[in-house]
């Protein structure tokens, strides 16, 4: 189906266009504060991801048989509105307490779609609504929340691999202590800066690899483990290169290059997992 055909079919379904416009507007205004030096790339990735999710929602809206919402669905929609009102009464201070406001908007949108378009379309709109209303406005907070667990997991796993390889290493928190040097796994080394782009690439790969929603969800769940394993392999490789070349691998071009190696490792692991799903479980 061409973009032109998609556009004309969408014009015949004004409610779908309204849902897409509403979510697109929320995504745009959520991304505006991120258009600052050092974060504009994350803003673009988030906007592209929002666009893909909204397009998939509209595609399902156009091709899915729709029927008017029945009475139980309308009652559920009113119940969601009630929950939204109760959430709105919760005092919103700093993160994560302020998330209540984001979930209010998410519930309002899903309730609106459920009431006018039924449960099938409400289900398709849930993920775009959460991305646009919850994740994007609190992008930096979620990244910081994930950073330490990612760093700690990679530190523990890499220390275990190094011990198996016969290298004496002790870890404390997110720091590896080797003879003559300590390697600190910082936020920049955790893989968190590449998480946005990795999510986008992985989501596109999943759409191409799998047809069943269950396999898409299970494969997508392996994103974080793939990043942790990829980062652990990068740390192990860094230690081996340190023994061969010295401290030069801990700074400058070597450090940047090893960061890209981490992405390659993580994506390769992610694709292998997807191939296993395709070959043995499809």
Dump pLDDT digits (tens) for 237-265: 888 888 888 777 777 777 778 777 888 88
209 or 191, higher pLDDT: 209
- pLDDT confidence of residue 79: 93
- pLDDT confidence of residue 247: 77
Residues for the chain: how many in total? Answer: 282
Query: Is it the case that residue 165 has pLDDT exceeding 60?
Result: yes
Going through 173-278 in order, the beta strands assigned E by DSSP cover: 175-178, 181-184
Residue from 58, 12, 49 nearest 27 by CA = 49
- pLDDT confidence of residue 143: 83
184 or 4, higher pLDDT: 184
Q: What is the mean pLDDT of residues 71-84?
A: 90
Residue from 180, 136, 190 nearest 28 by CA = 136
Query: Is it the case that residue 75 has pLDDT exceeding 70?
Result: yes
The per-residue pLDDT of the chain, averaged, comes to: 82
- The answer for residues whose C-beta is within 8 angstroms of residue 274's C-beta and 6 or more apart is 205, 206, 209, 210, 219
Quickly state the pLDDT bin for 130 (edges 50, 70, 90): very high
Model confidence, pTM: 0.80
CB atoms within 10 A of CB 48: 16
80 or 276, higher pLDDT: 80
C-alpha separations of 280 from 100, 182, 223, 277 in Å:
41, 43, 20, 6
Q: What is the mean pLDDT of residues 98-113?
A: 87
Kind plus residue range of the DSSP H or E element containing 172 = strand 170-172
């Amino acid at each position: 189906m061409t973009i032109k055909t998609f556009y004309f079919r969408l014009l015949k379904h004004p409610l779908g266009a309204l849902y897409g416009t509403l979510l697109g507007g929320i995504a745009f205004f959520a991304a505006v504060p991120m258009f600052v030096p050092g974060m504009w790339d994350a803003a673009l990735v988030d906007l592209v991801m929002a666009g893909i999710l909204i397009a998939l929602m509209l595609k399902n809206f156009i091709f899915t048989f729709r029927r008017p919402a029945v009475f139980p669905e309308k009652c559920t929609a009113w119940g969601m509105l009630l929950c939204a009102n109760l959430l709105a009464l919760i005092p919103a201070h700093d993160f994560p307490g302020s998330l209540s406001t984001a979930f209010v908007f998410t519930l309002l949108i899903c309730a609106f779609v459920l009431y006018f378009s039924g449960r099938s379309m409400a289900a398709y709109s849930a993920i775009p609504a959460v991305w646009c209303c919850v994740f994007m406005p609190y992008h930096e907070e979620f990244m910081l929340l994930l950073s330490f667990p990612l760093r700690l997991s990679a530190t523990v796993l890499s220390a275990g691999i190094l011990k198996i390889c016969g290298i004496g290493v002790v870890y404390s928190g997110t720091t590896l202590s080797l003879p003559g040097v300590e390697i600190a796994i910082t936020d920049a080394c955790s893989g968190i800066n590449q998480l946005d782009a990795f999510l986008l690439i992985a989501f596109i790969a999943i759409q191409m690899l799998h047809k069943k929603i269950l396999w898409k969800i299970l494969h997508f769940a392996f994103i974080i483990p793939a990043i942790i394993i990829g980062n652990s392999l990068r740390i192990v490789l860094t230690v081996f290169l340190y023994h061969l070349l010295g401290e030069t691998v801990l700074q400058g071009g070597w450090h940047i290059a090893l960061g890209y190696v981490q992405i390659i490792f993580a994506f390769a692991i992610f694709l292998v997992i997807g191939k296993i799903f395709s070959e043995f479980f499809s």
